[in-house]
Amino acid sequence: MNQSTKWVIGVIVVVVIVAVGYFAFKGPNQPTSTEPVKIGFVGPLTGDAANIGQNVRAAVEISVKEVNGAGGIDGRPLEIVYEDGQCTGSVAANAANKLINVDKVPLILGGACSGETSAFTGAAEQSKTVVLSYCSSAPTISQAGDYIFRDYPSDLYQGSFGAEYIYNKLGKKNVAILYVKSDWGNGIKDVFAKRFKELGGTVVADEGYEQTSRDLRTQLTKIKAANPEVVYFLGYTEASIPGIKQAKELGLNVPLFGGDAWDDSKIWSEVGAAGEGDMYSVAYAPLNADFKAKMKAKVGNDEITICAPQAYDAVKLIAKVIGKVGTNAEAIKNELYKTSYVGGVSASEIKFDSNGDLVGANYIVKVVRNGEAVELK
């Protein structure tokens, strides 16, 4: 064998060794540099909060398009695997199980309704899948585990804000609570009642109803008999519409004050005059003109519902983190605890505390005038 032949063989051996080492490290199931980065989505695309869910999806699609238009994540396109949670725990759990076990996503964006998210945080924590909720606010989610985050504020803030606003700003000392029996409704109700009593107020009635209920007359009749000055009404869209109408039909002529789930134009367009003067609290989002224009072009009107800005920002935050640490879920989790995201449309800064909760919250009150909810200045 001559020297030239030995040299060629040597080069081939080196190439083979390098190639074998590369593929052994890379693994047969690792995506190539051009394959999409897939993350999951769970939200109420149908069901009790479908109008909110579809508006959120529009915001997510806008954000994904912008990420990919800017080169994606290290040249790889970002792709969302959408699953409908229907604002129902069992449905959301099945959706998340598919995303975790079939699609094998490292991160789930969602859910929206607190009952959706609570239903799959256990499975996500056990499988070490990151969850970043853009809307779930039940206080119990704070204790769900190390892999659970949200860029929407806990109802520890909103429940207290509502109590303080009704007691101090409206000057109402006797309140009745009408609430949906869900993770969200139970959580915010408890925080509100505790704070309202601390302020010196009295909860004269406390009536719950099932999420599937559409006839709230029994509860409203008991509330009317208790003679409250205001009703703190916690409900999703499809129960709130008949509930608001029924309150007026029964002659319950006191203000209704809702939670952030009332930030849905479908409610006010359908209840008509029955909703005039009703109020609700919602997390403040510093929306800019560019985002508003993009949403209008996408959905065909001016509506930006609750949680759409948070979902939009969550996509940008996810792209930033994965671009830095890759798609390993543990690395994503660790980086989220350290990351600060500024310049978004939902908050001036997004950062998380040791529980994965959004740090800080600001709320505004909207009032319904002529079938439209406007910020109360």
pLDDT digit string, tens, across residues 291-315: 999 999 999 999 999 999 999 999 9
User: For residue 142, what pLDDT is reported?
Assistant: 83
User: For residue 32, what pLDDT is reported?
Assistant: 53
Domain count of the chain?
2
Question: Residue 76 is part of which domain span?
Answer: 37-154+286-360
pLDDT digit string, tens, across residues 44-98: 999 989 999 999 999 999 999 999 999 999 999 999 999 999 999 999 999 999 9
Same domain membership, residue 169 and residue 80: no
Give domain status of residue 31, yes or no.
Answer: no
User: For residue 23, what pLDDT is reported?
Assistant: 35
User: For residue 34, what pLDDT is reported?
Assistant: 84
User: For residue 27, what pLDDT is reported?
Assistant: 33
| pLDDT band at 266; cut points 50, 70, 90 | very high
User: For residue 377, what pLDDT is reported?
Assistant: 83
User: For residue 279, what pLDDT is reported?
Assistant: 98
Sorted by sequence, the CB contacts under 8 Å of residue 69 that are 6+ apart come out as none
Same domain membership, residue 136 and residue 188: no
User: For residue 25, what pLDDT is reported?
Assistant: 30
More confident residue, 29 or 159: 159
High-pLDDT (> 70) share of the chain, %: 91
Mean pLDDT (the chain, rounded): 91
2 pLDDT above the threshold of 70: no
pLDDT digit string, tens, across residues 134-148: 999 999 998 899 999
Same domain membership, residue 343 and residue 293: yes
For 213, counting Cβ atoms within 10 Å of its Cβ (0-12 exposed, 13-18 middle, 19+ buried), the class is: middle
State the average pLDDT over residues 183-198: 96
Same domain membership, residue 140 and residue 124: yes
Sorted by sequence, the CB contacts under 8 Å of residue 305 that are 6+ apart come out as 51, 52, 55, 56, 263, 264, 265
State the average pLDDT over residues 177-185: 96
Same domain membership, residue 164 and residue 111: no
Count Cα atoms within 13 angstroms, Cβ side, for 218: 7
Give domain status of residue 8, yes or no.
Answer: no
State the average pLDDT over residues 232-239: 96
Give domain status of residue 25, yes or no.
Answer: no
Same domain membership, residue 207 and residue 136: no
Same domain membership, residue 271 and residue 175: yes
365 pLDDT above the threshold of 60: yes
What CATH number is attached to the domain comprising 340?
3.40.50.2300
Record the tokens describing residue 9, joined without a space: 């063989």
Identify which of 94, 120, 93, 86 has the alpha carbon closest to the alpha carbon of residue 212: 86
Count Cα atoms within 13 angstroms, Cβ side, for 191: 22
Give domain status of residue 222, yes or no.
Answer: yes
pLDDT digit string, tens, across residues 306-357: 999 999 999 999 999 999 999 999 999 999 999 999 989 999 999 999 999 9
State the average pLDDT over residues 113-125: 96
Query: Dihedral angle at the C-alpha atoms of 209, 237, 247, 205, nearest 10 degrees?
Result: 40
Give domain status of residue 19, yes or no.
Answer: no
Same domain membership, residue 192 and residue 77: no
Same domain membership, residue 220 and residue 161: yes
Sorted by sequence, the CB contacts under 8 Å of residue 253 that are 6+ apart come out as none
Give domain status of residue 370, yes or no.
Answer: yes
Give domain status of residue 101, yes or no.
Answer: yes
Same domain membership, residue 329 and residue 214: no
Give domain status of residue 302, yes or no.
Answer: yes
Record the pTM: 0.85
Rg (CA), the chain: 24
